[in-house]
Amino acid sequence: MIIDERIVTEAIAGSFFEKFKSCIDLDVAIVGGGPSGLTAAWRLARAGRNVALFERKLSIGGGMWGGGMTWTSIVVQNEAKGILEEAGVAVSEYKPGYYTADSVAATAALAYQATKAGAHVFNCTSVEDVVLREVDGVRRVIGLVVNSSPVEIARLHVDPLVLHCRYAIECTGHDTEMLKTLVRKNDVKLNTPSGVIEGEQSMWADVAEANTVRYTQEVFPGVWVAGMAANATFGSYRMGPIFGGMLLSGVHVAEAIDALL
Ligand code: 48F
C-alpha cells in the first residue's frame, strides 16, 4: 500500500470535525477529566446520553495517574470496589475493606470505558467560561466556552468556541475553576450555605469520602458539582489517595442527571 499523506490529513480533519460538530448541542458537558469526570462520562454515555468531557491537559486522568506521591497505587474502599472491577481493573484486598489497584490501570480503564461507551473526550481543551441565560425567569448555565489549551497557555489572543448543554458538571477538582468563573463574572448565588464557594479544608479522609457523594449536587441551575470539586464547593475536607468517593460521585451525578433528562 502506498501511503498518501493528504488522505491522512483529510481523515484526521474530517473525523475530528464530525466529532466536534456532534457536540455543539450536548445533553451533558463535563469539565475536567479526573476520576469523577471520567466515571460520570462513562455512565452517562452508557445510558445513551450525548456527553462530552473537556480536559485542559494532554492526558486525561487528573490526579489519579500518580497514585499517592507518585507511587502508582490507589486505594478504594468496599463501596467503590465494584466500580473499578466493572471497568476491568484488578483489585486486591490489602486489609478488610481496603483495596488497592494500579493507578495507571485504573485511569486507563476509566478512560477506555468512557470512550467505548461513546463519550466524546476533548483533551487539550480548556473551559474558559460558561454561557448564562434566563430560562423561564431563572438564570441558568446552558453552555460552555472552550478554547484550545495551547492558546490559553501561550496567552494568545484567539477567541474561543461555544457549545450548548442541558447540564454541565464541574469536575475540575480542588480548584473548582469553572464555578469560580461563574461566581467571579456574574452576580449569582450558589446553592451552598454562604451562597458562594465555601472552600476546601485540610485532610480528613473519612468524612471527606462520605461528603464527596453527599455534596454531589446541582449547585446552580444547570451546574452540578462532582468529585473533589463537590467537597471544595461545600467546604468539606481533602482525602488524599483514596479514590472511592470520586468514583461513587461520578456514578451518582450520572444517575441523577440521567433521571432529569
Ligand atoms: O483533580 P482531578 O483528578 O479531579 P477529581 O475527579 O479527582 C480528584 C482526585 O484526583 C484527587 C483526590 C482524590 O482523593 O483528591 O485530587 O475530583 O481532575 C480535575 C481535572 O480537571 C482539569 C485538570 O487538568 C484535571 O485533569 N481542569 C481543571 N480546570 C479545567 C480543567 C478547565 N478550566 N478546563 C478543562 N479542564
SS3 category, 152: helix
Over the stretch 162-207, which tens digit does the pLDDT of each residue have? 999 999 999 999 999 999 999 999 999 999 999 999 999 999 999 9
C-beta neighbour count of 125 within 10 angstroms: 25
3 CA → ligand 1 middle, Å:
39
pLDDT at 67: 97
For residues 128 and 152, what is the distance between their CA atoms, to the nearest angstrom? 9
pLDDT at 120: 98
C-beta neighbour count of 1 within 10 angstroms: 3
Total domain count, the chain: 1
- Test site for ligand 1: of 43, 56, 200, most ligand atoms within 8 A of the Cβ: 56
**CATH number of the domain encompassing residue 167:** 3.50.50.60
Average pLDDT over residues 234-260: 98
Helix ranges, the chain (H): 5-21, 35-46, 78-87, 103-117, 149-153, 177-185, 205-214, 228-233, 244-260
Over the stretch 115-149, which tens digit does the pLDDT of each residue have? 999 999 999 999 999 999 999 999 999 999 999 99
Which residues span the domain enclosing 36? 25-66+104-127+138-260
Model confidence band, residue 45 (pLDDT cutoffs 50, 70, 90) = very high
pLDDT at 151: 98
Average pLDDT over residues 28-40: 98
Flag whether 11 is in a domain: no
90 CA → ligand 1 middle, Å:
23
Over the stretch 217-239, which tens digit does the pLDDT of each residue have? 999 999 999 999 999 999 999 99
Q: Residue 17 has which C-alpha cell?
A: 470535525
For residues 222 and 28, what is the distance between their CA atoms, to the nearest angstrom? 10
pLDDT at 208: 97
Give the position of cell 469536575: 171
Flag whether 121 is in a domain: yes
pLDDT at 160: 98
- R_g over Cα of the chain: 18
In sequence order, the 6+-apart residues with CB closer than 8 A to the CB of 151 are: 158
Flag whether 9 is in a domain: no
Give the position of cell 471497568: 87
pLDDT at 231: 97
Over the stretch 55-65, which tens digit does the pLDDT of each residue have? 999 999 999 99
Q: How far is CA 205 from CA 7, 235, 245, in A?
A: 52, 14, 10
Task: Verify whether ligand 1 is closer than 6 Å to residue 176 (CB atom).
Answer: no
Provide the CB-side half-sphere exposure for 54 (13 A, CA). 30
pLDDT at 213: 98
Flag whether 97 is in a domain: no
Flag whether 2 is in a domain: no
For residues 217 and 210, what is the distance between their CA atoms, to the nearest angstrom? 13
Flag whether 49 is in a domain: yes
How open is the CA angle 175-179-183, to the nearest 5 degrees?
120
Give the rounded distance of the alpha carbon of 211 from its chain centre: 17
Average pLDDT over residues 93-100: 98
Flag whether 18 is in a domain: no
Atom of ligand 1 nearest to the CA of 241: 14
Over the stretch 73-90, which tens digit does the pLDDT of each residue have? 999 999 999 999 999 999
Task: Verify whether ligand 1 is closer than 6 Å to residue 35 (CB atom).
Answer: yes
Flag whether 83 is in a domain: no
